[in-house]
Amino acid sequence: MSKTTPPIRSLSVAGLFAGIGGVERGLQAAGMRTELLCEWWEPAQAVLRHHFPDVPLHDDIQTLKALPDVDVVTAGFPCTDLSQAGRTAGIHGQASGMIKHLFELLETASPKWVVIENVRNMLALDRGTAMEYLVTQFERLGYSWAYRLVDSRFTGVPQRRHRVILVASKTEDPRRVLFTDDAGERPDHQYREDGFGFYWTEGNTGLGWAKDAVPTLKGGSGLGIPSSPAIWVRDAPPGQAIVTPTITDAEALQGFPVGWTEPAQHHSRASLRWKLVGNAVTVGVAEWLGRHLAEPADPVPMPNKTLPEGARWPTAAWGSAGDRWTLDMSLWPEQRPYQHLRDVVDTGLAKPLSLRATTGFHDRLMRSRLRYPEAFALALKSHIEYMEQPHP
């Protein structure tokens, strides 16, 4: 009788701060099963109930008495106080400070893995106070930890989205999850030059500029509203050159099936769905993580350097019991087949950016010292002139 490899046991998951289930959908694609979801916002709850009808849903982490006996606990906690588009009040702000309840729950729970996800700005805000707090709390509870900054484009979606993925464990080596592969960034010549994403809510100090991609989809903006980015369709005629993707485009740009957030529609404003999608975790990132949680492997061999106390947090680091190291890993663990921006967003059907939005952005851009292609400025001006004319 021939020997066969025993099947890998399906890992169980409790998803805290679950949002619309981006982490859970990705982990399910990696063969995991969700045992509990926790989410307070009613529109997001509506999405979770629709797509995870058999999973218990708790409405507030503050009243969650204990975690179920699961293998993986995830916590994509609110970025409101950490994001550059948010209040930047820090890790102890009213929203982002909710992460403290995770550590309270871990006092009486022993999952194999704990996963945290949040914005890149967490590494720099207040000289890295947020990261210091997180790793100190994990070490206090006896966990080893590792984190890595990743770009969602490595999963193939045309969205430049940088997120910190932190993995901790009492019994396993988190390096065997996050540091097992490194493909390096995709060469620039592999991106097409027929579409460029930018944020029309910016223009003073930044553009959110992205070639053959959109910049990070956000739950809020510099103007304090959830909004779509815009796309400059190079060589398109006036009226079709400066456009905005639809909410279903946004779902696809995050790796969700089209219509994923439709169950939230009865909660009033259309912009609400943008906030849900902007706050979500890219599904492909969670699927990549899930595969490595299920089957850890040896880390890529590379030099590890001591991370001095008080030093800036790098793009990848790990530690245990007060000792910390850094290593030079790219934001691209893999290079999956790339979906070009205009293959995902049908710019011929996209809505032109409004006259008011374009004019405001153009005015801010002209007053700034930002660098941008001259053809882009000309396209903006032509779009304004077109939008000023009466149209059917």
Strand ranges of the sheet holding 162-169, from the earlier edge strand across to the other edge: 57-58, 33-38, 12-16, 72-75, 113-119, 162-169, 144-151, 316-320, 323-326, 305-306
Residue 159 has what DSSP assignment? B
Assign residue 349 a region: left if phi > 0, alpha if psi is -120 to 50, beta otherwise? alpha
240: three-class secondary structure by DSSP: coil
Q: Is 79 annotated as catalytic?
A: yes
Six-digit token pair at 162? 């940088």
Measured CA to CA, the distance from residue 224 to residue 275 in angstroms comes to 11
Q: Which of 32, 47, 79, 384 is catalytic?
A: 79
CB 274 within 8 A of CB 14: no
Q: Which of 250, 305, 309, 303 is nearest to 280 (CA)?
A: 250
**Non-local CB neighbours of 246 within 8 Å, separated by 6+ positions:** 350, 351
Q: What is the DSSP string of 270-330?
A: THHHHHHHHTSPPHHHHHHHHHHHHS--PPPP---EE--TTPPP-SEEEEETTEEEE----
Measured CA to CA, the distance from residue 166 to residue 197 in angstroms comes to 28
Measured CA to CA, the distance from residue 365 to residue 377 in angstroms comes to 9
Task: Give catalytic residues, as residue numbers.
Answer: 79
